[in-house]
């Protein structure tokens, strides 16, 4: 294969839409219905590093849950790799989450009774495609690459906040999903740990070809991402790609 051809395929792959929101609105029913987000049109492409910013209560988390198939839109549709997901069976949506989407929440959300390695292996075991030893090796490699090689057999409560958050990243990567969705992954961390976690996420995009969508309050951090989306009152008010601007 020629270098030019390889370049071409890279460009095609880089521009393929991964997650697409089409006129998505989510209203929480109730005595006074709450609009979480409305009329969202958004395309997340391969190998993008996207930051979502906005004031508290503007619907950042809600949007992330919708893009990650954790929540269903009241109207509109969400497509993953071109496939419509809102009418999917719950089981198929779960499978899409298991294989295509990795979640990292503000609080680490690890299972407390299991070791770090077992937590990372959980999605692999749920998918059940690898042998036990292969899962172990892959889990160990992931943790090692995130600087947690020495902590594999500890319980989550024996780790620092930053370490836990990196374990959560390792777990999100377990089944090699193309997309990582992170909701304020550094929100509960000090600046040093925040920087570590940020670098991990950036490396995923720049070195490993993943797509990362991260909600953040930290405008400085958002500025270092490749694309920034700003939400106010449940609507997108700005969507700018840093690279384009720089050119």
Partner 1 sequence: MNLILDIAWTHVRARVRQTGFAVAGVATGVGFSIMMASLMQGSQDDFTNRLVNTLPNVTVSDERRSPPPQPAATLYAAAEIHGLTPEARRRGIKNPLATMAALEAWLPGAVGPSVKVQAIIRYANHDIATNIIGIDPRRESMISDLPKQMRGATLNALFRATNAIVIGDRLSDKIGARIGANITLQTSEGARLNAQVVGFFHTGVRQLDESTAYVLTKTGQILSKQTGLINELRVRLREPMTSREIATRIENDTGYKSVSWQEANEDLISTFIIRNLIMYTVVGAILLVASFGTYNIISTITHEKARDIAIMKSLGLSEYTVRSIFVIEAMIIGVAGALAGFLLGYLLCLALGSIEIKNPFLDSDRLPLAYTYTHYLLAGAVALVSSVAAGYQPARKAARMHPVEIIRGAT
Binding site for ligand ATP (CB under 6 A): 28, 34, 36, 54, 56-62
Please identify, among the stretches 38-46, 125-133, 142-150, 231-239, the one whose residues bind partner 1 according to the rule CB under 8 A: 125-133
Bridge partners for 231 per DSSP: 236
* DSSP tag of 109: -
Answer for the pair 226, 243: CB distance below 8 angstroms, yes or no.
yes
Q: Does residue 96 interact with partner 1 by CB under 8 A?
A: yes
- Residue 161, number of CB atoms within 10 A of its CB: 16
Q: Give the contact letters, 176-195, x = binds to partner 1 (CB under 8 A), - = no.
A: -------x------------
One of 61, 115, 186, 228 touching partner 1 (CB under 8 A):
61
Return the structure tokens found at 105: 């929440």
- Residue 1, number of CB atoms within 10 A of its CB: 6
Identity of the residue, 97 or 151, whose beta carbon is nearer to partner 1 in the bound complex? 97
**How would you classify residue 159: left for phi > 0, otherwise alpha for psi between -120 and 50, otherwise beta?**
beta
> Which residues 6+ apart lie within 8 Å of 28 measured at CB?
34, 35, 36
One of 47, 61, 115, 211 touching Mg ion (CB under 5 A):
61
The binder of 56, among ligand ATP, Mg ion, partner 1, none, by C-beta within 5 to 8 A per type, is: ligand ATP
- The C-alpha atoms of residue 24 and residue 162 are separated, in whole angstroms, by 34
The binder of 87, among ligand ATP, partner 1, Mg ion, none, by C-beta within 5 to 8 A per type, is: none
Minimum distance, C-beta of residue 213 to Mg ion, in the bound complex (Å): 13
Place of tokens 């969507």: 239
Residue 149 buriedness (CB in 10 A; 0-12 / 13-18 / 19+): exposed
Sign of torsion over alpha carbons 81, 93, 213, 37: positive
One of 22, 125, 155, 202 touching partner 1 (CB under 8 A):
125
One of 59, 103, 229, 231 touching partner 1 (CB under 8 A):
103
Identity of the residue, 227 or 231, whose beta carbon is nearer to partner 1 in the bound complex? 231
Where do contacts with Mg ion occur on this chain (CB under 5 A)? 61
Where do contacts with partner 1 occur on this chain (CB under 8 A)? 61, 65, 68, 70-71, 90-91, 94-99, 101, 103, 105-107, 109-114, 122-123, 125-126, 128, 171, 183
């Amino acid at each position: 294969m020629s270098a030019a051809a390889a370049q071409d395929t890279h460009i095609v792959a880089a521009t393929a839409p991964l997650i697409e929101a089409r006129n998505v609105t989510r209203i929480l029913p109730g005595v006074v219905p709450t609009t979480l987000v409305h009329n969202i049109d958004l395309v997340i492409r391969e190998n993008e590093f996207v930051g979502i910013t906005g004031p508290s209560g503007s619907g950042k988390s809600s949007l992330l849950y919708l893009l990650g198939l954790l929540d269903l839109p009241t109207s509109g549709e969400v497509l993953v790799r071109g496939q419509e997901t809102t009418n999917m069976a719950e089981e198929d949506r779960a499978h899409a989450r298991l294989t295509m989407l990795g979640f990292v929440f503000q609080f680490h959300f690890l299972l407390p009774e299991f070791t770090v390695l077992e937590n990372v292996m959980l999605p692999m075991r749920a998918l059940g495609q690898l042998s036990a030893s292969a899962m172990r090796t892959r889990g160990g490699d992931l943790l090692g690459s995130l600087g947690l090689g020495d902590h594999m057999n500890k319980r989550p409560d024996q780790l620092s906040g930053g370490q836990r958050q990196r374990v959560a990243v390792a777990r999100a990567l377990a089944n090699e999903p193309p997309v990582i969705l992170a909701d304020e992954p550094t929100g509960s961390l000090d600046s040093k740990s925040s920087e570590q976690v940020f670098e991990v996420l950036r490396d995923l995009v720049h070195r490993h070809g993943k797509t990362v969508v991260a909600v953040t309050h930290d405008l400085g951090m958002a500025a270092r991402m490749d694309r920034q989306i700003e939400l106010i009152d449940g609507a997108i008010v700005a969507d700018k790609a840093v690279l384009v601007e720089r050119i």
